[in-house]
Chain A
Amino acid sequence: MSIATRPATGTAPGPTSHESTPRRRRLRWDLPGLYVGLIAIAIFCLAPFYWMVVSSLKAPNEIFDNSLIPRHPTLMNYEAVFGAQNTFVLALRNSLIIAGCVTVVALVFGVIAAYAIARLNFRGKNLVLGLFLATSMFPGVAILTPLFQLFADWGWIDTYQAMIVPDISFSLPLGVWILTSFFRAMPWELEAAARVDGCTRGQAFRRIILPLAVPGVFTTAILVFISAWNEYMIANSMSQTPASQPVTVAIAQFSGISQYDTPYGTQMAAGVVVTIPLIVLVLIFQRRIISGLTAGGVK
């Protein structure tokens, strides 16, 4: 939280060192115990997800038998997800548009604000930092009703911007914090050198600092995208029709193949579809995500 006092090491941008550091001597710890622990962790984290995948592959008449492996795997639920009665494809598109816009705008705002906080000396810096912190503490429910009224007055209900603008404000505090810590750890002598060579401040930022900051910006982008993709509360009240509904809202309101019971199979299939892009992101960028999370969390 206190960026000023946090040592830059440990959460610095770029590939972290713990992968390459030899920690062989810790291997002496009793191996069977270690592997029991590791397997327990994997089961804890993955079993519910596995259950979601398995359930999504079961036909409605089979889903309640609770067998751990589907006996007659079927893609029927996935057909229902992409079928006509659920506007899931539209919801996926909405989610992509919303999360994409949030990521781009929040990053532009976040990068320039973080640059100012990390590099410039100005009055009220503590106030600005305090404001970012205070807003990140707010319970979303507290602002939901007045925000809804405000957007209703503006005719914004059921539009993308009604979700994009709040999402930007939710991601800004975290984004500014992560980016500030990245900017603080940058080699600013390079900027000074560029200035000496005749660059303006803007040029030095664009040509020298920004290219160097790409890893940090990218990490922040992933985190902001995931949090915008996962947002539910604001979307649930701002989107009234499928035209603007993101996937999180669509899933919670799903209607299935059969009308009268909760369509668990279809919901699970939709959940798998929504989660897969995130899992892919996690698999590819896990090191970046972790370094960003810990920079943002252990501030």
Chain B
Amino acid sequence: MTVTIDRAAKARRPRRPAEARESDGRLAFWLVIPSIVVLGLVILYPVIASIVRSMFGDGIGESPFVGLQNYANALWGLGAADFWGATGFTYFVAAVTIVLETLIGLAMALVMNRAFKGRGILRASVLVPWAIPTAVAAVLWKWAFDPAGIINALTGSTIVWTGSEIPSTIAIIVADTWKTAPFIALLILAGLQVIPDEVYEAAKIDGAGAWQRFLRITLPLVRPALLVAVLFRMLDALRMYDLPWIFTHGSNGTTTLSILTFVFIFVTAYFFVRVLGVNAVESVGGERKERKR
């Protein structure tokens, strides 16, 4: 819909001479094509290959064409338990980490939005968790969650964190929250900083308390930045790989499962964009295209 409106608007606009547009188009083609080739090789080709491969059975030598049988297996056949288990786990971890990260990030951003000495140092230290490679962070948290490690020593417990499902889930959530909440905080902080001080002044004069100002001014005005941060975070969280892998060497997704995962991520993103109204005109155009697959 947005695309057609766009075109109509363009058609009404006075245009430059046809020749100039022509050369614009040719130049643009040569400028954009290197990126498109790399993306095509690394993303599009593998995706198409996966889709084709997912229509064939497993086996040595000639693998028979089975149509959508693999998908059926994964969704309600033999693999259903594994697939829904993994999907449920992914969504659960994503939901919990996103809620935690958003709350902690919002709190951090509100504090950092005040004037204070040593602002630069604090902002640099907030970037530290973001800058540490996930592989290093995973090793670090694995050590912290070791049965003889610091977490058990501090909490006085003797849990074998990486040994069973619930403790290792908690460990993964803690590690991921630590790594990403500061990043969310920076995104929200950028949103907070464009709110003019005059709005708060006016509200104060009108007798609004701190809590009221937060609910009626800060939250609505920071909402766009907040939603986009959450959307990006969600896409990342649903694709999380290295952290759980180094932690528990959990099972890998097969080709079929991965494509389904993408569809799931896509549908989630789509709902998010549509229902919550994240301002993303271009993205809707892009996602439309994906959905036809």
Q: Which residues does A use to contact B, with CB under 8 Å?
A: 1-5, 9-11, 18-19, 23-27, 29, 34-35, 37-38, 41-42, 44-46, 48-49, 51-52, 55, 64, 66, 108-110, 112-113, 115-117, 120-123, 125-147, 149-150, 165-166, 168-170, 172, 176, 201, 226, 229-230, 232-233, 236, 247-249, 251-252, 262, 264, 267-268, 271, 274-275, 278-279, 281-283, 286-287, 289-290, 293-294, 297-299
Contacts and interface: CB of A to CB of B under 8 A. Distances in A.
A122 B28 contact: yes
B159 interface: no
B106 interface: no
Contacts of B235: 136-137
B290 interface: yes
16 contacts: A2-B280, A10-B194, A11-B190, A41-B125, A45-B182, A109-B34, A134-B290, A135-B39, A141-B261, A142-B255, A146-B46, A230-B134, A230-B135, A233-B242, A279-B131, A290-B190
Nearest to B190: A294
A282 B121 CA distance: 10
Overall SS of chain B's interface = helix
Interface stretch (B55-63, B66-74, B109-117): B109-117
B212 interface: no
Interface residues of B, number: 110
Nearest to B90: A139
B258 A123 contact: no
A257 B55 CA distance: 48
Contact of B278 (A1, A229, A281): A1
B187 interface: yes
A145 B286 contact: no
B42 A126 contact: no
Interface of B: 3, 6, 16, 21, 24-25, 27-29, 31-32, 34-36, 38-39, 41-47, 49-50, 53, 104, 107-108, 111-116, 119-120, 122-129, 131-144, 146, 148-150, 153, 178, 181-183, 186-187, 190-191, 193-194, 197, 224-225, 228-229, 232, 235, 238-239, 241-242, 245-246, 252-255, 258-259, 261-262, 265-266, 269, 278-283, 285-290
Contacts of A233: 241-242, 245
A23 B248 CA distance: 47
Contacts of B116: 27, 34-35, 38
